[in-house]
Amino acid sequence: MTVDSILPDEFGSRYAAGAPRTEAREQARSELDLMSGAMVEEEGLLNHVQAGLLLGVSVKRIGELVRLGKLRRFDFLGRTYVSVREVRERYHQELKAGRPKRPNVVRAVASVKAALKTDAAQAKLGGYAGPYEKAKKKGKAK
């Protein structure tokens, strides 16, 4: 490959001075400075895969936590990150997966309401439980 085989860009220069690539490079440098400042403030940045691995949740759940405002979103250089500090705080909260258990009184009220809505055919079959549940109790279900 010779120097003559290099084609000039749309501005007539071989080195793209003032070209979109130069502007993109300058923008990337300014984003890098912002990213560096954010990393110092937030004690580092993690991508969604890394945060999910540390918290024991899926990447989708991390995205959901960002949408819900539980984790702050940082966009730098075309990538999305979350704060190490916030991930660490969430990890130390030791949140359990799933819905919190309701108090016994609330569960009892819900059971009574459901029982009142049971129709006669359902009651003949054993209330909420159908024939399969009855057989399971007797040990005959497969």
The contacts of residue 29 (CB under 8 Å, 6+ apart) are none
Q: Can you give the pLDDT at residue 124? A: 65
Verdict on whether the full-model pTM lies above 0.85: no
- pLDDT value of residue 83: 87
Closest CA relative to residue 89, chosen from 117, 65, 109, 108: 65
Contacts of 132 (CB under 8 A, 6+ apart): 141
pLDDT of residue 5 exceeding 60, the answer is: no
Rounded CA separation 57/70 (Å): 14
Q: What pLDDT digit, counting tens, does each position of 128-137 carry?
A: 555 666 677 7
pLDDT (tens digit per residue) in 43-99: 888 888 988 888 888 899 899 999 988 888 888 877 888 888 888 888 888 666 677
Q: What is the mean pLDDT of residues 105-119?
A: 76
pLDDT digits (tens, 9 = 90+) for 18-48: 567 888 888 888 888 877 777 777 788 888 8
Identify the band that residue 9 occupies on the pLDDT scale cut at 50, 70 and 90: low
Between 112 and 55, the higher pLDDT residue: 55
Query: Residue 47 and residue 75: Cα distance in Å, rounded?
Result: 10
